[in-house]
Amino acid sequence: MLIWFTTPPQGPDLARVALWPAFIGFVLAAVAGAIALPLLRRLKVRQHVYEDAPESHQVKSGTPTMGGIVFAIAVLPLALDLQVPMLGEFLILILGCAAIGAIDDLLGIFRGKNAGLKARTKLLLTAVIALLFLTRLDSSYAEFPRQTLLAIGTWHLTVPYLWWLLLGMLAVTGTIHAVNLTDGLDGLAAGSMLPPLAALAALGFAHVLPQPTMVALLGLGACAAFLLYNRHPAKMFMGDTGSLALGALLAGVAIAEGEMLLLLLVGGIFAAEALSVIVQVGYFKATRGKRIFRMSPLHHHFELGGMNELEVTTRFWGISAVLSALGWWIAK
């Protein structure tokens, strides 16, 4: 797998080598999930559904959570050769955010309700991890589009280092919490993550950026495997352990490919979910109790409008695929 770092494949070898890290990610996550599911059940690591959730969600209470540990396991092959630039930085980012999510999940479990770390605490901790990732990434000898917000073919939109650092922190923390908000329906977050990771992997191949491409493919395989356990009706939830890890992985890959702004398009589902919450809360406060959406995040709005969970999920997957294909076409 790691030979691709030094010898990018050409011709017929390209598809074979491209599928290899995705296959590794799939197998590791699938095996880890098969081991984790009965263990989480035995340890009673269960999800507590918040009281304001739609009535149909109350039956999900008691479903094993913290299944997102499989994403952390899927990226462990990156540790096989930390002398390859950028791999250590990705491990810090993904595993660090997974650890924050795990603490949040465990606190919620021990307290017997869906209340873990405070939102500002999670924001601060993920911002620190993001800052560490960005500063180490920039100081490494890895070849990547430095201080780049958007790369379209050979055209790059670059900014001064400080702006890149601040916007990078915003991209990481924003994506992390957007994915966290999206993880409210069976298979929604993991399935919606597949198209943007595929688009970024394709762009990484086109621009010869092996490390972030490898990470995207590992994540792609892991998300596909997690759907074996998380598709409707879910046997296991990823919890904040998984949603924070996935958000960090997606943002990290985009930053390392110089496609920070493209996240808004390829990750449009996640952006829309986060924006719906911001708009709902802001409008509620400004109007002293009125709402724009039936409920936020956005997927709950459609649920309460009469669509069943599977319909909402599959349509969001389709929209994610269209947006990601459009993003790839623009930036290729």
Structural contact between residues 253 and 266, judged by C-beta atoms closer than 8 angstroms = no
Token digits of residue 299: 């997927």
CA distance readout (Å), 292 to 56, 302, 313: 22, 13, 21
Residues 38-66 have pLDDT tens digits of 999 998 888 766 656 666 666 667 889 99
- Residue 321 and residue 302: Cα distance in Å, rounded? 19
Token digits of residue 18: 């491209």
Does the pLDDT at position 169 exceed 90?
yes
CA distance readout (Å), 27 to 50, 153, 212, 220, 299: 33, 33, 20, 11, 30
Does the pLDDT at position 129 exceed 90?
yes
Residues 136-159 have pLDDT tens digits of 999 998 889 999 999 998 999 999
pLDDT above 70 coverage of the chain, percent: 90
pLDDT value at residue 185: 94
pLDDT value at residue 55: 62
Band of residue 111 on the pLDDT scale cut at 50, 70, 90: confident
pLDDT value at residue 179: 98
Domain ranges of the chain: 2-264
Least confident residue range of 43-47, 72-76, 133-137, 247-251: 43-47
pLDDT value at residue 15: 58
Q: Which of 130, 237, 240, 118 is nearest to 174 (CA)?
A: 130
**Region 202-215 average pLDDT:** 92
The angle formed by the CA atoms of residues 102, 256 and 324, to the nearest 5 degrees, is: 85
Taking the whole predicted model, whether its pTM rises above 0.85 is answered as: yes
Structural contact between residues 194 and 188, judged by C-beta atoms closer than 8 angstroms = no
CA distance readout (Å), 46 to 112, 117, 239, 278: 9, 17, 10, 28
